[in-house]
Structure 1
Amino acid sequence: MKMRKSLAGRTAASLLIASALFVSCVDEEEEEGLIEATETKNESISSSNIFEVAPETKTLKITGNLGGKKLYVARVNMGDYTISKSDVRTVTKAESSSASISLSSSVSARAGADAEIDLSAIDLGKKQKYRHFVSPKFDIPVSSSRSAVSPNFSVTPISRDVGTTKNIWIETENGYEQKPATLYATGTYCNVWILDDYYATTESKNKVSESTAQTFAQKFDAMYPVIRNVFGNEAEIIRVTDGKTRTDTSISDVSDTGSTVNIVLYDIDGDYKSDKEGEYSPNGTAGFFFSKDYYKTTTNLSGDYKVLNYSNIGKYFYIDSAIARLYPNDAISTLAHEFQHMINFNMKDIKLGKVPDTSYNEMLSMLCEDMMQDFLEIDDDDSPKNRTQQFNTYYILSGIREYLDNDNAVVSYATSYTFGAFLARNYGGAALIKEISQNDKTDNNSIVAAVNKINSTSLTFDKIFQNFLLALTGNTTYTLNKDAKQTLSSGSYSYPMTAYDIFANGYAPEIEKLPSNLPSLVASSELGYDGNGPVLFKNNAAIDLRPQYGISLHTLGELSAGMNDLTLTFSDKGSADLYMYVIVQ
């Protein structure tokens, strides 16, 4: 595995800062949401190698053994709204009393349009293979009286014999319709249905056979107890509702498939085009869990709750039939992904009455795929690790804790997974994931509580995130290139989450596919960027910062031998939500 090339022995300028350094041009009058920086901060390299630059910080002075170390700046948006590129700050001056500082050009005004990156111009479109569906949430209060909605329904359990048929609600271009499906395989824990329109004895196009159904039943039966050992259990209730209140009742009283998980195969969204790589389902859905199936309506609902009329009433998730045929390993990994969503709905929504954010939920589903990779005998290319190149290229498009509900959602998956993979490999592996999944919190609070419980620490989320920034700039203590701890097991399986190197050649960012003005702002080899790992930008690259821990990473070069003090001066004003981190390593 190749790490970023060393700059040791280079005799060029001690500290190189990207050409055309600039000072933010703002009106003399204080702008809304902007902070004027006036404070000086003193730090020592002996105690840390990452230093926070708050919105109020004008000057950062670092002392210690700095010689030969590389210098990076991470810009981070701590807020819930995008920070405009006009409100980002940059380094305007670098000085040292112990060694000469040579700048590639004098400090100047903003370098013009070519130093600004318009994120709205980046549309991944067909660059993504497929995505998962995000289930909406239904906030129906529990009934104070069981008489409000009656759970007393007569239900006849369906036969689990292969060949049994039933109608299953799916969404089509004409809205929701019931489509006939046939049961082609059963396991101890699951039924596998194929919609009749997508069955064929000889598989082709978007049609699959009984053999695929049998494979899915076998794989799901094997993974079922292993996944539940970490994430918890799926719900055993159905929410009976009239749209005003709900009553939770036993699933066996309401569902004709009882406690059995139903896996339904069909061409989701009807988007199959051809077998040609790149044409097939460029934005298609690989699979989904929809919490609507945990509801039963007692009357015809409208508005936001209308979709509940089309509940299949039971434990259901859905897998794309064409993906199951063309990319079987992806489809099997998707089984694990969607099962986590089903369990999470019970562990957080039903048991706690808390609705986790989408990024958190998707992170856990991809970590489920990650920890089950060896168990399911899936290659890296068919695991969430295959999102690493997208992360390295496009991480600026989505905050680390943000979810984009559009065609660029693939980047949110990439950022969520990369952060989650970092957590697992640095803070406890499957044991950490179990604590995140089963504690009584959601989102950042859940992550922090789990990290501190498993590691007997008292870290804040911001400190954990700073360690993530270290991993993104080549730190060897905090890195994804190490195996996660294996302190949890299910039978003989100990949930290995193997090391992978985000700086490896195979994950190198596709810089040439970025908008035309972007490659010129990517750091060059003289600034210590060899084209591997997350894209590193020059200091003068002005980039909109996405909300919820959106970042941009910048390299300033290498410090000369013998340097033991460094003073960095920053732009006068910037967004109140913009925090910068100077990283020395």
Structure 2
Amino acid sequence: MRKFLFTLVLVMVSFSFTGCLQFLLSMMSSDENESSQTDLGNSDWYYNLGDNTSVTIDNVRDKEIIFVKFNNSNNVIQRADQRTLDYTDGIDTSSDKIESYGGSNSYSYRSLSDAADKAAAVAQGPVHFEHNENYGPVYAAPSSRAVSTNSVNYTDFTKGYRRNFWADTDISSSISYEQKAFTLRAGNSSCLVWVADDCYMEGEVAALSSGSKVTTAIAESIADTFVKHCGFEREVFGTESSMMIDEYNYAKIDMASKSPTGTLVNILLYDIGDDYSSSNASGVIGYFSSKDYYVRRPSATGNEKPLRYSNEGKFFYIDAPFCNYNSSATGSYKFGGTGGVSQTVISTLFHEFQHMINFGNKVIEGGVSDNPSWHNEMLSMLAEDLMAQQLGLDAKENVAANRIPLFNRAYYNSGLTEYLKDTGKSIYSYSTAYAFGAWIAREYGGPAFIENMSKNAKTGMDSITDAIYATTGESVSPLVLYKKFIQACVYRNTFAQTYGYPTLYKKIDSIFADGISAGLGRIDIFSSDYKYQYYDRSSDYYTGPCLISYDAAADELRPHGFTIHYVGRATSDTVVLEFSQRQASGEQIMIYVQDSFKNKIN
């Protein structure tokens, strides 16, 4: 932060309601230790409008002017309750390099959202299934049930061993299960890999695997990959619980005394949802269900009905067809032989394993009653992010490549701390949660921060702020984090680095005790690597988070969500912006000034 006198010379701003004096006081207070801030203070090129209606900014000729509407509440703010920009002076609101959407002189904002809704499934492709409910409080007191001294070992199982497991047959329902026959096709000291009999193809050559069928070679590759890398994930994220939850009093019992597969991790390959087709444009790659950590309860009803179908042990599920997924197929999905397990599935293995670890850390051991999905998914995607290097994933398979383009195009559809349960909408929450988490991890310590966040006994923003303090010693409020992240979404990298604003363009490398190299690479969200387009402007591509016209408003401003509005380029040293009065107490407006840039490529 620059000292007061230098800041005063560089830029001055006055507010019509409170006047210049209060602004100067706010600038002075922003020079105090930022670790104690509950809100992000004004700075050289950034201003909080607060309850004011007018802002005058000096020394900004040829700079770009942007404002952001942010909803700092848990409620949706409807269009009619959002503030509007009613007057500007000293600004050219048209540009041949920057294009914004919506408003009176462009395409309607609603058509943008519709376009994103229609295209998202195809653009995003396969998804993970939110399926890790908490069925009741877990009590710390152990059950009186006797603890077995005879642990199950993987050598107790041989290839070809058959067993029936409960399998979800409808991804739109959490209580649609049937028993399917599975055969053990691979195993080691960490995991057992079971393949549904109707998804198995005879033969040891991986290239024979195609469609919804997989071979023993595929199962062995999955088992080998898991045992090679699960130790690293446990080191960073924690060890999954080996305690089960009693079916009647919710006390913890030793898994070894109850589970037929002991404390081994079971990976079940089958056609999740029975939805395979050669042209299937979307589907569930895999999921973890916490129901399997509960002792089976045949009479369970209501919200606990899934407990009827517990497989009693450590289980997660992988879609067999996606083992054969060829992500290089443009515009469609190819389920032909790939010569090995798809990288999509390899990444998913460790995404789902984090969910298993998380349930143990937060619910069984930590005793939390609220484990928000957005935070859980954030951790799983950070596992993918952190492990991409050691897993040898291609750039196109990196979680950033899968999530950032949709975030850029449609970030406004899901708030930063929101998980949209609707299957067709949850992909927006994934992309937002990843982008937010990727920035926080790169800003506050990388793997060390991720480890602290995963292993602490809190969830959501409490877990994040506690982990920041544990890693850096800095106390920071959620509001400051939200606003810093938005700055990283507005300020282009060079400008951000020049003036010390937040950015995702940071790299953090770490070497762990076992010699494994893992880190977080730079993410340039403004790069053409994450370009996107809309169906109604198919010849044009755009970079960076979508810019909305200054005179447009979202139908809904999502809880802890935001919209970025481009005003124009300053044509004089002084510009004036006048807004309507605040109606929704949760709505905040921030104003940004930065150097010239462009967002359209064609």
Once the two structures are superposed, residues 260-294 of structure 1 have per-residue CA deviations (whole angstroms, 9 ceiling, x without a partner) of 101110110011110xxxx32x3411100000000
Q: Does 1:542 align with 2:569?
A: no
Residue in 1 that maps onto 2:251: 247
Contact kept, 8 Å, 1:509 with 1:534, in 2: the verdict is no
Cα distance change of structure 1 residues 101 and 372 upon mapping to structure 2, 3 Å threshold: closer
Q: Does 1:412 align with 2:429?
A: yes
Residue in 2 that maps onto 1:352: 366
Within 5 Å, which residues of 2 pair with 1:33-182?
42=23, 47-54=43-50, 56-63=51-58, 65-95=59-89, 100=90, 111=104, 117=110, 121=114, 123-124=117-118, 126-127=121-122, 128-142=124-138, 150=145, 157=152, 159-172=156-169, 175-182=176-183
Residue in 2 that maps onto 1:370: 385
Structure with a larger share of its residues in helix? 2
1:101 Cα deviation after fit: 5.0
Question: Which of 259, 270, 283 in structure 2 is aligned with 1:266?
Answer: 270
Residue in 2 that maps onto 1:333: 347
AA matched with 1:232: G
Contact kept, 8 Å, 2:112 with 2:534, in 1: the verdict is no
**What SS does the corresponding residue of 2:178 show, helix, strand or coil?**
strand
1:156 Cα deviation after fit: 9.4
**What SS does the corresponding residue of 1:373 show, helix, strand or coil?**
helix
Q: Does 1:207 align with 2:207?
A: no
Report the Cα distance in structure 1 between the residues aligned to 2:235 and 2:509, rounded to whole angstroms.
14
Within 5 Å, which residues of 2 pair with 1:231-246?
231-242=237-248, 245-246=249-250
1:397 Cα deviation after fit: 1.2
- Give the superposed CA RMSD: 3.0
1:315 Cα deviation after fit: 0.4
Report the Cα distance in structure 2 between the residues aligned to 1:258 and 1:551, rounded to whole angstroms.
47
AA matched with 2:581: D
Q: Does 1:444 align with 2:444?
A: no
Cα distance change of structure 1 residues 46 and 139 upon mapping to structure 2, 3 Å threshold: closer
- The unaligned stretches of length 5 or more in structure 1 are 1-36, 105-109, 525-529
Cα distance change of structure 1 residues 546 and 351 upon mapping to structure 2, 3 Å threshold: farther
Contact kept, 8 Å, 1:50 with 1:466, in 2: the verdict is no
Cα distance change of structure 1 residues 329 and 143 upon mapping to structure 2, 3 Å threshold: closer
AA matched with 2:285: A
Question: Which of 197, 216, 222 in structure 1 is aligned with 2:228?
Answer: 222
Identity of aligned residues (%): 32
AA matched with 1:569: E
AA matched with 1:421: A
Report the Cα distance in structure 1 between the residues aligned to 2:465 and 2:183, rounded to whole angstroms.
45
Q: How high is the TM-score relative to the length of structure 2?
A: 0.79
Contact kept, 8 Å, 2:52 with 2:581, in 1: the verdict is no
Residue in 2 that maps onto 1:402: 418
Report the Cα distance in structure 1 between the residues aligned to 2:426 and 2:536, rounded to whole angstroms.
18
Report the Cα distance in structure 1 between the residues aligned to 2:276 and 2:112, rounded to whole angstroms.
30
Cα distance change of structure 1 residues 509 and 112 upon mapping to structure 2, 3 Å threshold: closer
Q: How high is the TM-score relative to the length of structure 1?
A: 0.81
**What SS does the corresponding residue of 1:436 show, helix, strand or coil?**
helix
**What SS does the corresponding residue of 2:344 show, helix, strand or coil?**
helix
Once the two structures are superposed, residues 116-141 of structure 1 have per-residue CA deviations (whole angstroms, 9 ceiling, x without a partner) of 53787453364241111112423434
Report the Cα distance in structure 2 between the residues aligned to 1:290 and 1:511, rounded to whole angstroms.
35
Once the two structures are superposed, residues 350-392 of structure 1 have per-residue CA deviations (whole angstroms, 9 ceiling, x without a partner) of 1121132111110110000000001100012112112211111
Report the Cα distance in structure 1 between the residues aligned to 2:256 and 2:45, rounded to whole angstroms.
57
1:195 Cα deviation after fit: 0.9
**What SS does the corresponding residue of 2:23 show, helix, strand or coil?**
strand
Once the two structures are superposed, residues 229-276 of structure 1 have per-residue CA deviations (whole angstroms, 9 ceiling, x without a partner) of 11011011111213xx222110100011111101110110011110xx
**What SS does the corresponding residue of 2:185 show, helix, strand or coil?**
strand
Contact kept, 8 Å, 1:42 with 1:61, in 2: the verdict is no
Report the Cα distance in structure 1 between the residues aligned to 2:142 and 2:439, rounded to whole angstroms.
46
Report the Cα distance in structure 1 between the residues aligned to 2:399 and 2:302, rounded to whole angstroms.
36
Report the Cα distance in structure 2 between the residues aligned to 1:416 and 1:133, rounded to whole angstroms.
15
AA matched with 2:389: D
Once the two structures are superposed, residues 114-172 of structure 1 have per-residue CA deviations (whole angstroms, 9 ceiling, x without a partner) of 6553787453364241111112423434569877x856799995832212111111122
Cα distance change of structure 1 residues 342 and 102 upon mapping to structure 2, 3 Å threshold: closer
Q: Does 1:186 align with 2:187?
A: yes
**What SS does the corresponding residue of 1:297 show, helix, strand or coil?**
coil
Question: Which of 497, 504, 524 in structure 2 is aligned with 1:480?
Answer: 504
Report the Cα distance in structure 2 between the residues aligned to 1:250 and 1:389, rounded to whole angstroms.
44
Cα distance change of structure 1 residues 269 and 154 upon mapping to structure 2, 3 Å threshold: farther
Report the Cα distance in structure 1 between the residues aligned to 2:482 and 2:405, rounded to whole angstroms.
21
Cα distance change of structure 1 residues 558 and 330 upon mapping to structure 2, 3 Å threshold: same
* Higher-RCO chain (CA-CA 8 Å, sequence separation at least 6): 1
Report the Cα distance in structure 2 between the residues aligned to 1:175 and 1:101, rounded to whole angstroms.
58
AA matched with 2:128: H
Residue in 1 that maps onto 2:590: 581
Report the Cα distance in structure 2 between the residues aligned to 1:188 and 1:222, rounded to whole angstroms.
11
Report the Cα distance in structure 2 between the residues aligned to 1:417 and 1:77, rounded to whole angstroms.
19
AA matched with 1:42: F
Within 5 Å, which residues of 2 pair with 1:371-390?
371-386=386-401, 387-390=403-406
Report the Cα distance in structure 1 between the residues aligned to 2:141 and 2:352, rounded to whole angstroms.
34
Cα distance change of structure 1 residues 225 and 545 upon mapping to structure 2, 3 Å threshold: same
AA matched with 2:565: H
Farther off after superposition, 150-159 or 128-137? 150-159
Cα distance change of structure 1 residues 426 and 103 upon mapping to structure 2, 3 Å threshold: closer
**What SS does the corresponding residue of 1:130 show, helix, strand or coil?**
coil
Residue in 2 that maps onto 1:500: 523
Report the Cα distance in structure 2 between the residues aligned to 1:336 and 1:187, rounded to whole angstroms.
17
Aligned residues: 516
Cα distance change of structure 1 residues 291 and 551 upon mapping to structure 2, 3 Å threshold: same
Contact kept, 8 Å, 2:91 with 2:568, in 1: the verdict is no
Contact kept, 8 Å, 2:547 with 2:564, in 1: the verdict is yes
Report the Cα distance in structure 1 between the residues aligned to 2:222 and 2:450, rounded to whole angstroms.
25
**What SS does the corresponding residue of 2:195 show, helix, strand or coil?**
strand
Report the Cα distance in structure 2 between the residues aligned to 1:404 and 1:304, rounded to whole angstroms.
19
Report the Cα distance in structure 2 between the residues aligned to 1:250 and 1:496, rounded to whole angstroms.
35
AA matched with 1:247: A
Report the Cα distance in structure 2 between the residues aligned to 1:235 and 1:466, rounded to whole angstroms.
36
Contact kept, 8 Å, 2:152 with 2:263, in 1: the verdict is no
Cα distance change of structure 1 residues 52 and 453 upon mapping to structure 2, 3 Å threshold: farther
Report the Cα distance in structure 2 between the residues aligned to 1:404 and 1:137, rounded to whole angstroms.
15
Contact kept, 8 Å, 2:142 with 2:252, in 1: the verdict is no
Contact kept, 8 Å, 1:131 with 1:284, in 2: the verdict is yes
**What SS does the corresponding residue of 2:562 show, helix, strand or coil?**
strand
Once the two structures are superposed, residues 473-493 of structure 1 have per-residue CA deviations (whole angstroms, 9 ceiling, x without a partner) of 21433222221x234524222
Contact kept, 8 Å, 1:153 with 1:253, in 2: the verdict is yes
Farther off after superposition, 456-465 or 43-52? 43-52
1:456 Cα deviation after fit: 2.5
